[in-house]
Chains A and B, each alone.
Chain A
Amino acid sequence: MSWILILEQSLNGLQFGLMLFLLAAGLTLVFGIMDMINLAHGSLYMLGAFIASTLVQATGSFVAGVLLAIPATAILGMVLEISVLRTLYARDHLSQVLATFALILIINELTRLAWGSDAALPMPQALSGPVELLPGLRYPAYRLVIIAVGVLVAVLLFILVTKTRVGMRVRAGASNREMALAMGVDIKTLFTLVFGAGAALCALAGAMLAPLFAVQVGMGENILILAFVVIVIGGIGSIRGALVGAVLVGIVDTIGRAFLPILFGIFFQPRVASAAGPAIASVLIYLLMAVVLFLRPRGLFPARG
């Protein structure tokens, strides 16, 4: 277990965490402002990846395809918000769960009708090789690009939310919806915009992760749960919490999977270690969430004052 391996796995964790952040940012705002459980958020991630795969093939350029997929998915998200989700805000959590679960089934089948069960989105040729970061540490260029994009988006989002007027309204809505309404914030339009932005971030994450993971129907369901874990750890409605939670989850998950089996091998017999290591590693983030909730029932950075 050398330090290079540790560094490499930490970068992998950071990369995964930043992509989780893109998903969690939209989800936490939807959750925080409208108190709405949107299980269909993962479906937007899936749609983004499928749309990007088509557009990348059509334009012949990875960058152009991904950049076009983002507004396309944002528009789909806003249409979804205006047509169905808007009527659910006033309903209880149970109705929201049922309706958005129904949306998952519907969107999955429509995707299957339009694209089939999976699609291909290959990595751009220029980025497929490794880069030598430090002597002895060769890291895939594409993963570095993902980290760069993630950091860039996080910074932009941070500026947007803390320094601009729109961001101020979003924060006002998240911390006290009734008060924001009373002060004249047009929550309805604001929310459609927030939802569109969330969908755009989903598309970006879906398209960027597509060359690493498979683009297939159902890809949204598993990552959705991770995104929920992230926002619950971070505190619902808090962008900062989403960032901290996402990086935490990304690193704990990646490091755990890489090193727990080795660590267990030191203390236990190989037979026990090979069985228990991966098992504990995969429950580590849920354990983390349970501990955080037990100690701080409202997450690390509660948004509502």
Chain B
Amino acid sequence: MKRSIAVFIVLLGFPLAMSAIDNLFYVSFASRVIIYAIAATSLNLVLGYGGMISFGHAAFVGAGAYAASICIAEGVASAWLGWPAAIAASALAAWLIGAVSLRTRGVYFIMITLAFAQMAFYLVNSMKAYGGDEGLPLPQRAELGLGLDLGNEVVFYYVVLFFLALSLYGLHRVMQSRFGRVVIAIRENEARAEAIGLPVYRYQLACFVIAGAVAGLAGALLASHGKYVNPNVLHWVQSGTLMIMVILGGVGQLWGGAIGAFVLLGLEHVISDYPLPWLAAVAPNYPQHANLGVGLVMLAVVLFAPHGIAGLLSRRRGA
């Protein structure tokens, strides 16, 4: 808990420091990282705590992103309408997809969630009225009112930071509750949970819907952040990337999703925008191949840090 508060104090001070050296690019970049952290945290609820390996989480991010974008494109810019609409759309999608998928188990669950996400991907691809495969540029970010201008990078940063704090606190509270205990019990031993009379399916579905709703909020924020949405937010590689963030950070660890998002996006950025002089001397074009470095780091994490980065940190603390 103390650690979490310390991290948030640093995050609160970050835009002030960046404003002082007049570097707003990093404030915007940090907002993007935080939005991905929210999405990855929501996936961690399903994947890490619930033990359901969903390979279609991008569908919910996408449902939220498109719902919010369509509101703005149709002239309803108020975040008070757009964001709840995004949450409702993705919760509905999660409920429908979850209701069917949760009847299967194991590898089949992985594949059926993937199949539904692909369906959603092709559906938005064919929505010609909203850009189709070219995507939908937005005239502006959502409007929050209250004297807060989301067009301002620093204000936007604090808003997304607020939602990250809310998601993490929510996840923490949910996992302390009876509901959370049941979800973990199901992950640990589904047959036993069923045998002592817990309604396994209902709990799993509820967990799935909550995670979908939060992912939808992340999607709405993402669309506002870039003032643009395109079908690639629903592509399966995007679902894979969210999974990677969770696994990289730490499956079933409170900060897992956030750490993973920070490390993955940070790594991409550092490799492609900060060429190391000695490496650039050998291979001048290497920043264009940033994914090679990202891939090697990911492989190293799987082979040498099975519990992710959060696992490494807590083990060190325990020692």
* CB of A200 to closest CB in B, whole Å: 24
**Which residue in B53, B119, B295 is a CB contact (below 8 Å) of A287?**
B119
- Assess whether B299 is interfacial by the CB under 8 Å rule: yes
Would you list which residues of chain B between 71 and 115 have a CB under 8 Å from chain A?
100, 103-108, 110-112, 114-115
Complex interface: chain B residues within 8 A of A110 (CB): 292
Are the CB atoms of B306 and A105 closer together than 8 Å?
no
Are the CB atoms of B104 and A225 closer together than 8 Å?
no
Identify the stretch in B15-23, B122-130, B202-210 within 8 Å (CB) of chain A at 4 or more residues. B122-130
Indicate if A115 sits at the interface (CB-CB under 8 A): no
Q: How would residues 265 to 294 of chain A score, 1 for a CB under 8 Å from any chain B CB and 0 otherwise? A: 000000000011011001100110110011
Q: Mark B267-305, 1 if CB is under 8 A from A, else 0.
A: 000000000000000000000010110111011011100
Given A93-B110, A97-B240, A283 contacting B123 (CB threshold 8 A): yes
A-facing residues in B117-155 (Cβ within 8 Å):
118-119, 122-123, 125-128
- Kindly state the separation between the CA atoms of A84 and B304 in the bound complex, as whole angstroms: 12
B104 & A98 in contact (Cβ 8 Å cutoff)? no
A73-113: contact bitstring with B at CB < 8 Å (1 yes, 0 no)? Answer: 00000000000100110010111011101111110111011
- Chain A, residues 223-242, CB within 8 Å of chain B (1/0): the string is 00100110010001000000
CA distance A290 to B112 in the complex (A): 6
Q: Which residues of B contact A229 (CB under 8 A)?
A: 111, 115
Chain B residues, CB < 8 A from A290? 100, 112, 115-116
A98 to B246, CA, bound (A): 10
Residues in B neighbouring A37, C-beta threshold 8 A = 107, 110
Q: Does B243 contact A (CB under 8 A)?
A: yes
Q: Please tell me if the beta carbons of A102 and B240 are within 8 angstroms of each other in the complex.
A: no
Asked if A221 contacts B237 (CB within 8 A), the reply is: yes
Please, which residue of chain A has its CB at the minimum distance from the CB of B105?
A297
Measured in the bound complex, the distance between the Cα atoms of B236 and A153 in whole Å is 30
In Å, the complex CA distance between A225 and B113 comes to: 12
Name A35's closest neighbour in chain B (CB-CB). B107
Given A94-B47, A102-B302, A108-B291, also A232-B108 (CB < 8 A): yes
Asked if B247 is at the interface of the complex by the 8 Å CB criterion, the answer is yes
| A264: interface (CB < 8 Å) | no
Asked whether B107 lies within 8 Å of A286 as measured between CB atoms, the reply is no
Complex contact A293–B104 (CB within 8 A): yes
Residue among B112, B302, B303 with max Cβ neighbours from chain A (10 Å): B302
- A294 and B103 form a contact (CB under 8 A): yes
How far apart sit A283 and B122, CA to CA, in the bound complex (Å)? 7
Contact partner, B303, options A87, A97, A232, A298, Cβ 8 Å: A87
Q: Chain B contact residues (Cβ within 8 angstroms of A): what range?
A: 35 or more
Contact A109 B295 (CB under 8 A): yes
- Which of B107, B111, B122, B251 lies at the interface centre, i.e. has the most chain A CB atoms within 10 A of its CB? B111
A293 vs B105: C-alpha distance when bound (angstroms):
10
Q: How many A-B residue pairs have CB under 8 A?
A: 127
Contact with A along B228-262 (1 / 0, CB 8 A): 00000000110010011001100100000000000
Cβ-defined contact, B126 with A275, below 8 A? yes
The size bracket of the interface on A is 35 or more
**Distance to closest chain A CB from B97 (angstroms):** 9
The docked-state distance in angstroms from the alpha carbon of A236 to that of B47 is 23
> In the complex, which residues of chain B have a beta carbon less than 8 angstroms from the beta carbon of A99?
298-299, 302-303
* A31 interface contact, C-beta 8 A: yes
Which of B100, B105, B126 makes the CB contact (< 8 A) with A282? Answer: B126
Across-interface contacts of B55 in A (CB, < 8 A): 97
Complex CA gap A31/B107 in Å reads 9
B88 to chain A, nearest CB (A): 22
Cα distance A282–B110 when bound, in Å?
20
By a CB distance below 8 angstroms, the chain B residues around A232 are: 107-108, 111-112, 115
- For A93, A110, A287, A290, the residue with the greatest tally of chain B CB atoms inside 10 Å of its CB is A290
B179-224 at interface with A (beta carbon < 8 Å): none
Using A94-B53, A94-B251, A298-B108 as known contacts, say yes or no to A105 and B292 having CB atoms under 8 A apart: yes
Whether the Cβ atoms of B116 and A95 lie closer than 8 Å is no
Q: With the chains together, A279 CA to B244 CA distance in Å?
A: 29
Which chain A residue shows the least CB distance to B306? A95
Q: Are B247 and A98 in contact (CB under 8 A)?
A: yes
B-contacting residues, A195-234, CB 8 Å: 221, 225, 228-229, 232
Contacts A/B (CB < 8 Å), 10 sampled:
A93-B107, A97-B53, A99-B302, A106-B296, A229-B111, A232-B112, A278-B126, A279-B122, A294-B100, A299-B108
Residue positions of A touching B, CB distance < 8 A: 31, 35, 37, 39, 84, 87-88, 91, 93-95, 97-99, 101-106, 108-110, 112-113, 221, 225, 228-229, 232, 236, 275-276, 278-279, 282-283, 286-287, 289-290, 293-294, 297-299
The 8 closest A-B pairs by CB, nearest first: A105-B295, A279-B126, A102-B298, A109-B292, A106-B295, A282-B122, A102-B299, A283-B119
